[in-house]
Amino acid sequence: MIKVDGLSHSFKVGKKGNEKEIPVLKNVSLAIQKGEIASIVGRSGSGKSTLLNLVSGYIAPTDGKITVGGTEVTGFSEKEWAALRLDTFGFIFQSFQLIPSLTTFENIELPLTLKGVPSSARKTKVTEMLYRIGLDNHSGHYPNELSGGQQQRVGIGRALITNPEIILADEPTGSLDSETEKEILDLIKELNTEKGITFFIITHDEEVAAFSDRKFVLQDGVLKEEGVPVEI
């Protein structure tokens, strides 16, 4: 579902004419299969967020190739990336990224509205999703009326409402206590099993990594899969 080959990325710093390139990712390659839960573990500044932004098309790589669902997307235009994100990806964020002025129902409904799904179909889909994520009694609540765990459930519902093939998750449990983290991870595992969705998770949390099918470690821009011998 997600494949990157020889992916490298550098950021330029300094004044124009006297710029320096700071390498962030160095020749990264990996392949995530359909239905897998894969975690990318690394310290702050290791390049995790850069990798996620490259895979989702928010920045372009300095070098290398990105393939999603068998299609090379490295050279996509912003319009093509926007369509791919809406049709193929769902996003879960550490800070939830809910719209404060929208209710639980409306936050989950938003991607369907952007896709032009008719009102009656949106209502059916969102109602079913609310029940599935355990928030059917909170449809009219606003984000500030929900706990952190409930807000993340809304975020998961919003990510899943368009039936995406891939979920990209940025520290999905980073703002949660340990008990709520377990609830969210259990929910992710259930949805992965039921729907066969591929999860690509970046995290610094070893609990999240241990829950994943595959664990990759990113250190100083170099990616290695745990448990796979390094070729000499």
Sign of the torsion angle spanned by Cα atoms 39, 41, 44, 50: negative
> Looking at residue 15, what is its pLDDT?
80
- Give residue 36's pLDDT: 96
Structure tokens at 140: 């009219």
For the stretch 94-131, pLDDT in tens is 889 999 999 999 999 999 999 999 999 999 999 999 99
Q: Contact at 8 Å (CB) between 101 and 144?
A: no
Q: Are residues 21 and 10 in contact, defined by beta-carbon separation less than 8 angstroms?
A: yes
pLDDT at 53 over 60: yes
For tokens 């300094």, name the residue. Answer: 14
| pLDDT score at 228 | 60
CA–CA separation, 185 and 37 (whole Å): 11
Q: Averaged over 36-65, what is the pLDDT?
A: 93
State which amino acid sits at residue 17: G
In this structure, of 22-26, 32-36, 105-109, 171-175, the range with the lowest mean pLDDT score is: 171-175
Query: Is 223 in contact with 28 (CB distance < 8 Å)?
Result: yes
Q: Is the pLDDT of residue 156 over 60?
A: yes
The pLDDT value recorded for residue 21 is: 86
- What mean pLDDT value characterizes the chain? 92
In this prediction, residue 232 carries a pLDDT of 39
pLDDT digits (tens, 9 = 90+) for 179-189: 999 999 998 89
Range among 11-15, 18-22, 43-47, 97-101 with highest mean pLDDT value = 97-101
Between CA 130 and CA 108 the distance in angstroms is 9
Candidate from 57-61, 152-156, 176-180 with smallest mean pLDDT: 176-180
Across residues 31-36, what is the average pLDDT?
A: 95
Q: Are 218 and 46 in contact (CB under 8 A)?
A: yes
- Which stretch of DSSP H or E encloses residue 117? none
Using an 8 Å Cβ cutoff, are 196 and 34 in contact? yes
Domains and CATH numbers, the chain: 2-12+21-225 (3.40.50.300)
Burial 136-158 (b: 16+ CB within 10 A, else e): eebbebbbeebeebbbbbbbbbb
